[in-house]
Amino acid sequence: MTSNWKASACILCSRNCALLIETQQGHITRVRGDKSNPISEGYICQKANRLDYYQNHADRLKQPLRRKANGGFEAISWDQAISEIAGKLLELRDNYSTSCLAYYGGGGQGNHMGGLYASAFRSALGIDYYYSALAQEKTGDFWVNGKLFGRQYCHTTEDIEHADCVIFIGTNPWQAHGIRNARSSLRQIAKDPARSMIVVDPRRTETARMADIHLQLQPGTDAYLLAAMLAIMLREGLEDKAFLKKRTQGFSALREILLDIPVENFIQRTGIEIDLVYQATRLFATAKKASVRADLGIQQSLNSTLNSYLEKLLFIISGNFAKQGSNNFHSFLIPLIGDSRPRSMGKSKQKMPLKTVISGITEIAGLFPPNVLPAEIDNNHPQRIRALLVDSANPAVSGADTDAYSRALQKLELLVVIDVSMTETAKHAHYILPAASQFEKWEATFFNLDFPKNGFHLRKPLFQPLAESLPEPEIYQRLTLAMGLIPKSWPFLTAMARLHHSWPKLGLYRIALGLALATNSKLKDTIAFVLQATYGRFLAEGAAAAGTLWGACQLYVKKHGDAVARTGLTGRGPALAQALFNRILNGHNGVLLSEHKYEDTWSFIQHKDGLIHLDIAEMFEALKSLKNTPPESNKDYPFILIAGERRAYNANTIYRNPDWRKSDIDGALRIHPEDAEHLELKQDALVICESKWGDLQVRVNICDSILPGVVSLPHGYGLEYPVNGHRTEHGPLINRLTAALHCDPLTATPYHKFVPVRLKPVT
Ligand SMILES: Nc1nc2c(c(=O)[nH]1)N[C@H]1C(S)=C(S)[C@@H](COP(=O)(O)OP(=O)(O)OC[C@H]3O[C@@H](n4cnc5c(=O)[nH]c(N)nc54)[C@H](O)[C@@H]3O)O[C@H]1N2
Ligand SMILES: Nc1nc2c(c(=O)[nH]1)N[C@H]1C(S)=C(S)[C@@H](COP(=O)(O)OP(=O)(O)OC[C@H]3O[C@@H](n4cnc5c(=O)[nH]c(N)nc54)[C@H](O)[C@@H]3O)O[C@H]1N2
Ligand code: SF4
Ligand SMILES: [Mo]
């Protein structure tokens, strides 16, 4: 191998496949899957080959920018930017209290190292309102996990590779991935006659085409389908009685509700043939090892929180949990998900669940939903949000209701955007801070969701930071220092860290840090800065930001020591933690973290009795009321738009230059031939797609893989990018068609997969 092939990873989806990347003069010239990575084992998809379009493009930010009074931006120095932003944040906090401050993002598909430092920055300043893209998809799932398993961070994963039967609900892993080495795993199931696959999707997707059974339901009817399947299981005695008795509580009450379900009537509402649902249920419930994988198709549609509950009941009631080929919990080296407990705000001693001021939405897993943010800014309440810091996100494109976002962002007294690119969100900012790209700094993702083997990949930079751009850990450290919220230096800990690097066996740094934490209760919140500045400064090749991982390894080994030792590392306690950290720091191709036993899953449950609690009052109510809810229909907007399909050439808003796409340049609207004929639309014709909230002109792609009455547009299009010197929008910006209030009442996650629209041919 020539020397300019370097180890790194793909940053385009949560799988973060390990890559070998060839570089030449600042460019990514060739990309391969890295076979030596223990998790991705050389897997790669077509999107990763285009990574130079992320690294090099016309919209890269090169220096800090400040908005001018007459519009436009001027370049300023880092010192000036940091001191002005720090000053304004403190001024707003002092005038209106910390509740006027909010934060959005903190990490995308490939960059989570900065998030650790962002979190320390928020703690230091007292920012409680943390908005995240995860709260526009997964908070319903987290909420249900909290109730079932005791804490919202009890997150489950799927052992697809060992399952005899897999059911994919509202997900298309062929394009979206989300499971380990998706296309290889799907192919293996498809070619093995002893294994089976069921897909629940209103579209005949690439995944559905490989399935044994495709349940092609009407959009938004999953709750009816899943409830009917559960009822069939019980009526036919297919539940795992011994499992339910030993491992759960609340089953008898749930059983009564499920047995009361009018199965045939529910199936009719889904539009699926009745026999096919019985067949699928039996196939799933009688498989020795079965696993359930669900994603946006049910998490961003009607009844989304209930869907998450029912989807989990499929694996719980059939006893497909805590064993090979089923669903299991997994460990996190650094938890991506929190648990929202009541807390005391400001000076008040009373503990309350934290809610937003205007919409009254309660925090879930430590997160607030993007759907409510514009309303929290754009109002005259004295406690409205006045300052927002956005990092690694582009809500002006990705948030529901593009116009509401534009209006709200313009109303802010302070908007700071940290990004690698000039984005639609950054355009509204008072200050734009240029981040080094993910190939220009030490980076990692915390999407380490595998079980029983879990891995971690610390990536080395491939290039120097572009122009004046900086890694986020440095940006947050500078901001927090400038606000006077952390000490300028830690001489004692620095001295101990220096000694520790020479004589690691003595554990001096660990003892010193323990003392510092014991004597200063506040230190814990900003520990990332301490580790970066003390332990991290002695790491070679400028890896200071990785210093926090040393701390994470200590905590991880405390919880999962046996599983870490099983990967072949020796030592116990702190010595094992040090060995794990050394392995991560030196393992540039990615390394194993832990190897659990399937039965270890039970040790992840957080209910004191160790049981799964099936009785969730809110879900019981929702389940009972399904019967009495009339089917959705809207004469004025007769089509259902699936607003946000994952395709071969979209990757959130990470690639800005549209030339990265080899096909589907326009992001076409899929429509069934019957509907096209009815509207007299020819292939590639233009049509106006109009919802109650906005309209778009789009090109049509007539295909019979979608149900009549349903149309679909891709996610991640509609970005501005200069062509011949003019900024032009490329493809449909679908959130012009979506609305903030069209969302789950409990979690405010959007119903993007169920947007009523009408279509008008362009004459
Ligand atoms: N190529 C590509 N891959 C990606 C991304 C990307 O932008 N591009 N983004 C990444 C991100 S951030 C995420 S969250 C994941 C999302 O990954 P997925 O959730 O798998 O992707 P989607 O295509 O949004 O939706 C999945 C399926 O839901 C179906 N669906 C729509 N309505 C319904 C319904 O009412 N019921 C059911 N059962 N199904 C329905 C759609 O037809 C679609 O096939 O993908 C990740 N991977
Ligand atoms: N209608 C509709 N809307 C949707 C969806 C849908 O299906 N339909 N999907 C939703 C989902 S699931 C998601 S996850 C969101 C995704 O949308 P967002 O949360 O907005 O995230 P990304 O599009 O991934 O944006 C990533 C941003 O990070 C920047 N970036 C890349 N690398 C770095 C870096 O190293 N540092 C910094 N600071 N910035 C960096 C990129 O330039 C880009 O601006 O969209 C949501 N919006
Ligand atoms: S887009 Fe996802 S699946 Fe494809 S190479 Fe990148 S990380 Fe792997
Ligand atoms: Mo997502």
Ligand 2 atom closest to 437 (CA): 35
Query: What 8-state DSSP symbol labels residue 236?
Result: T
At residue 1 the predicted structure's pLDDT band, cuts being 50, 70 and 90, is very low
pLDDT at 3: 57
Percent of the chain's residues with pLDDT above 70 = 99
Ligand 3 atom closest to 651 (CA): 1
d(CA 172, CA 315): 20
Q: Is the CB of 545 under 6 A from ligand 3?
A: no
pLDDT at 2: 47
Q: Is the CB of 45 under 6 A from ligand 3?
A: yes
Q: What is the pLDDT of residues 458-489, one digit of tens each?
A: 999 999 999 999 999 999 999 999 999 999 99
pLDDT at 506: 87
**Chain-centre distance for alpha carbon 164:** 28
At residue 703 the predicted structure's pLDDT band, cuts being 50, 70 and 90, is very high
pLDDT at 158: 98
User: Angle, to 10 degrees, between the axis of helix 547-565 and the axis of helix 113-125?
Assistant: 120
What token pair was written down for 79? 């010192």
Q: What is the pLDDT of residues 34-63, one digit of tens each?
A: 999 999 999 999 999 999 999 999 999 999
Hey, whose CA ends up nearest to atom 11 of ligand 1?
A: 13
Q: Is the CB of 10 under 6 A from ligand 3?
A: yes
* Residue linked to tokens 């490939």: 110
Quick check: 27 pLDDT over 50? yes
Taking residues 295-320, what's their average pLDDT? 98
Ligand 3 atom closest to 177 (CA): 3
Q: What is the pLDDT of residues 380-407, one digit of tens each?
A: 999 999 999 999 999 999 999 999 999 9
Q: What is the pLDDT of residues 229-255, one digit of tens each?
A: 999 999 999 999 999 999 999 999 999
What token pair was written down for 371? 């759907």
Ligand 1 center to residue 275 CA distance, Å?
Answer: 27
d(CA 133, CA 154): 19
Ligand 4 center to residue 497 CA distance, Å?
Answer: 39
Taking residues 729-754, what's their average pLDDT? 97
Cβ count near 46 (within 10 Å): 9
CA distances from 366 to 128, 469, 554, 616 (A): 9, 30, 23, 21
Q: Which residues contact ligand 1 via a Cβ below 6 A?
A: 13, 137, 169-172, 175-178, 200-203, 205, 219-220, 222, 295-298, 301, 642, 644-647, 650-652, 715-716, 753
Q: Is the CB of 534 under 6 A from ligand 2?
A: no
Edge to edge, the sheet with strand 129-131 lists 73-75, 65-67, 431-434, 414-419, 387-391, 101-105, 129-131
State yes or no: cis peptide before 722, omega within 30 of 0. Answer: no
What token pair was written down for 212? 């044994």
Ligand 4 center to residue 505 CA distance, Å?
Answer: 42
Do 182 and 174 meet the contact criterion of CB atoms below 8 Å apart?
yes
DSSP per position, 616-649: -HHHHHHHHHTTTSPPP--SSS-EEEEEEE--TT
Taking residues 514-539, what's their average pLDDT? 95
Ligand 1 center to residue 673 CA distance, Å?
Answer: 23
Counting ligands in written order, the one closest to the CA of 457 is 3
Q: Which helix (H) or strand (E) segment is 227 a member of?
A: helix 222-235
What token pair was written down for 513? 């840090």
Q: Is the CB of 44 under 6 A from ligand 3?
A: yes
Which residues contact residue 518 at a Cβ distance below 8 angstroms, ignoring those fewer than 6 apart? none
Number of C-alpha atoms within 13 angstroms, CB side, residue 161?
A: 13
Ligand 4 center to residue 751 CA distance, Å?
Answer: 14
Taking residues 634-657, what's their average pLDDT? 97
DSSP per position, 384-403: S--EEEEES--HHHHSS-HH
Q: Is the CB of 51 under 6 A from ligand 3?
A: no
